[in-house]
C-alpha cells in the first residue's frame, strides 16, 4: 500500500519531524515535513500529500485552523492530529472539523504507522482490489463507496468528511444491526475506546445533521447503553469491477 503514498508531517519539534521522517521512510512512505503553518500551506499548495500528520500547536497558528481550511479546500485529504494527552477538547474539536483520527503525545511511531495505514485503507488506498463494486441506497440517498459519494435523489451531495463517511459505510454494511460505541470505534478507526472518548457520539451527531435526520424522517436509532442502529431499509447493488 505504502509505495507511492506521500505523507506530510507538520510539527514544530525538529526531533519529532526527523524521527517520523526516518521511520515512515523506512516503512516505504514518501515523506515531506513542515515546521509551521506557513510551510504547511506551501506544501499543500505544491505537493498534494495523500495524508497529513498535523500537530495541534504550531508557532504561527493552530493545527485546527489548518484542518478546517483543508476540509474546505481539499476535502478528501485525510488528517491525523497529534495532540497532548490532556488536550481532550482539542481532539473533539478536531473531529468536529473533519480530522480522521488523532494520536496523543507521546506516542509510538509504530502506532502512528498503523493509524496511517488504517485511514488510507478506509480512503481506498489498498493493495487488494475487490472483484466487484457495491453501491447502496437508503431513504433518499445513493452511496458509492468507491467514489466516497453520498448524493440525494435531487442531485445534491452530502458533504461528509472522511471519518463521517467511514462511519456511515459501517452502518450500510450492517443494516439493522445494533452497534456499540466500542464496535464502531474499532470498525472505523481500528482502536478500542477510552471511557472518556466521545468521538463516536460527535461523529454520529454530525452525520445525522448532514443527512437531514429529524423526528419525522429518522435514520438512526440511539439505544441507551447499547449504541446506534441504522433503521432505514438499505438496498445493495453489485457490479463486476
Q: Is 2's pLDDT higher than 60?
A: no
Task: Indicate the burial class of 207 (C-beta count within 10 angstroms; 0-12, 13-18, 19 or more).
Answer: buried
Residue 47: CA atoms inside 13 Å, Cβ hemisphere, count?
20
Q: Using CA atoms, how far apart are residues 23 and 36, in angstroms rounded to an integer?
A: 21
Q: Which residue has the cell 504550531?
A: 58
Q: Could you tell me which residue, 213 or 241, shows the higher pLDDT?
A: 213
Task: Name which of 24, 27, 75, 28 is nearest 53 in CA terms.
Answer: 24
Q: Are 32 and 9 in contact (CB under 8 A)?
A: yes
Q: Using CA atoms, how far apart are residues 215 and 205, in angstroms rounded to an integer?
A: 14
Which residues sit opposite 235 in a β-bridge?
137
Across 78-87, 124-133, 206-215, least confident range: 124-133
Q: What's the predicted TM-score (pTM) here?
A: 0.56
Query: What pLDDT digit, counting tens, does each position of 42-59 carry?
Result: 888 887 788 999 998 899
Query: C-alpha dihedral over 165, 167, 172, 175, to 10 degrees?
Result: -160
- Give the β-pairing of 6-10 and 51-55: parallel
Q: What local confidence, expressed as pLDDT, does residue 30 receive?
A: 86
Where do the domains of the chain lie?
6-122, 132-240
Phi, psi of 147 (to 5 degrees): -85, -10
Q: What local confidence, expressed as pLDDT, does residue 73 receive?
A: 66
Task: Give me the CATH code for the 132-240 domain, please.
Answer: 1.10.10.10
For 68, the grid coordinates are: 478546517
Structural domain 6-122, CATH architecture: 3-Layer(aba) Sandwich (3.40)
Q: What local confidence, expressed as pLDDT, does residue 89 receive?
A: 61
Q: Calculate what percentage of the chain has a pLDDT beyond 70.
A: 84
Q: Mean pLDDT, the chain, as a whole number?
A: 83
Amino acid at each position: 500500500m505504502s509505495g507511492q503514498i506521500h505523507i506530510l508531517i507538520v510539527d514544530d519539534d525538529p526531533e519529532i519531524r526527523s524521527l517520523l521522517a526516518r521511520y515512515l521512510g523506512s516503512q516505504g512512505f514518501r515523506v515531506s515535513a513542515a515546521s509551521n503553518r506557513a510551510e504547511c500551506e506551501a506544501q499543500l499548495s505544491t505537493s498534494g500529500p495523500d495524508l497529513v500528520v498535523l500537530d495541534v500547536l504550531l508557532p504561527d497558528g493552530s493545527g485546527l485552523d489548518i484542518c478546517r481550511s483543508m476540509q474546505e479546500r481539499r476535502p478528501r485529504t485525510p488528517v491525523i492530529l497529534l495532540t497532548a494527552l490532556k488536550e481532550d477538547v482539542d481532539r473533539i474539536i478536531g473531529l468536529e472539523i473533519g480530522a480522521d483520527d488523532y494520536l496523543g503525545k507521546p506516542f509510538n511511531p509504530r502506532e502512528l504507522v498503523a493509524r496511517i495505514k488504517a485511514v488510507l485503507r478506509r480512503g481506498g488506498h489498498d493493495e487488494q482490489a475487490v472483484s466487484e463494486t457495491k453501491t447502496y441506497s437508503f431513504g433518499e440517498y445513493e452511496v458509492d463507496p468507491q467514489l466516497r459519494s453520498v448524493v440525494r435523489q435531487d442531485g445534491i451531495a452530502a458533504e461528509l468528511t472522511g471519518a463521517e463517511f467511514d462511519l456511515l459505510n459501517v452502518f450500510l454494511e450492517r443494516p439493522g444491526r445494533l452497534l456499540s460505541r466500542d464496535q464502531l470505534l474499532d470498525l472505523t478507526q481500528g482502536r478500542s475506546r477510552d471511557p472518556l472518548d466521545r468521538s463516536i457520539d460527535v461523529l454520529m451527531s454530525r452525520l445525522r445533521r448532514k443527512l437531514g435526520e429529524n423526528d419525522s424522517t429518522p435514520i438512526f436509532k440511539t439505544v441507551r447503553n447499547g449504541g446506534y442502529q441504522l433503521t432505514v431499509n438499505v438496498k445493495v447493488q453489485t457490479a463486476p469491477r
